[in-house]
Amino acid sequence: MTTPSKIGPNSIIQTVAALEATYGKTKAENMLRKIGQGYIVGNLPKEMVEETKFHTLVGALQKEIGETATARILQESGERTARYLLKVRIPGIFQKFLKLLPPRPAFKLFLLAISKNAWTFAGSGEFSYTMNRPPEISVKVTFPTQPVVGNFYLGTFNALLKELVNPETKIKPDIRKENGNIRCHYSCEI
């Protein structure tokens, strides 16, 4: 029996925070209870979580509020996760160094660093990037979920790249089901 893959707790923590920011704390908590996610209320994770918990939350939200609203929540959740990473996880000296570099070398160095810890957000999936023109980021989600989950990664990458690589960064997402997986492809104009 294989051990379930784990991802960072911000996937859930920041999704709940985005729900509360959008709907208010009481309505968000009631919604979580209604969709079978009541165990989260007042009990946010403090350590790595099984990826199933995040993907189950995403699926339940999509059924309850629809794909468009869930996409907005997940994009905001990703942006909130990026702010957390910038504040707590990415060393300040590294951030300052990246900002001194031209965009392409900064992108390459940043994504190289990200790839070392990609398991913390990709779980059982895969992460890769290319230095094509324009550069590209890919996340393949192998856990059975919906394409809307790609908006979480979109929000995270967009906020991080704008802060660390180039504030004018624009990302064109291509998120789709492919061979039973979710392929999240982000073309980055840096």
Q: Domain-by-domain residue ranges, the chain? A: 6-189
Which pLDDT does position 1 carry in this prediction? Answer: 61
Among 36, 24, 30, 39, CA closest to 63: 36
Interval 130-169: pLDDT, tens: 999 999 999 999 888 889 999 999 999 999 999 999 999 9
Interval 63-120: pLDDT, tens: 999 999 999 999 999 999 999 999 999 999 999 999 999 999 999 999 999 999 999 9
Interval 9-33: pLDDT, tens: 999 999 999 999 999 999 999 999 9
Q: How many CA atoms lie within 13 A of 135 on its CB side?
A: 24
Burial class from Cβ neighbours inside 10 Å (0-12, 13-18, 19+) for residue 169 reads: buried
Stronger pLDDT, 174 or 179, i.e. the higher one: 174
pLDDT band with cut points at 50, 70 and 90 for residue 34: very high
Which pLDDT does position 102 carry in this prediction? Answer: 98
Burial class from Cβ neighbours inside 10 Å (0-12, 13-18, 19+) for residue 84 reads: middle
Which pLDDT does position 130 carry in this prediction? Answer: 97
Contact 131, 104 (CB under 8 A): yes
Q: Which fold has domain 6-189?
A: H-NOX domain (3.90.1520)
CB atoms within 10 A of CB 124: 16
- The whole-model pTM stands at 0.95
Q: Is 176 left (phi over 0), alpha (psi -120 to 50) or beta?
A: beta
